[in-house]
Amino acid sequence: MKKLIDFLNGLEEAKIVYKIFKSRDFSITVLIYVPGERWEVDFLFENGDICSDIWVEKFKSDGTIYDEGEIETLYRDFSD
How many residues are listed for the chain in this entry?
Answer: 80
> Which structural domain range is residue 29 located in?
2-78
Determine the Cα–Cα distance for residues 31 and 58; give it in Å rounded to an integer: 10
- CATH number, residue 70: 3.30.160
Coil, strand or helix: which one is 43?
strand
Tell me the pTM: 0.78
- For the chain, the domain total comes to 1
**pLDDT by 10s per residue, the chain, length 80:** 888 999 999 999 999 999 999 877 789 999 999 998 999 999 998 777 788 899 999 999 998 999 999 999 999 999 87
What amino acid occupies position 38?
R
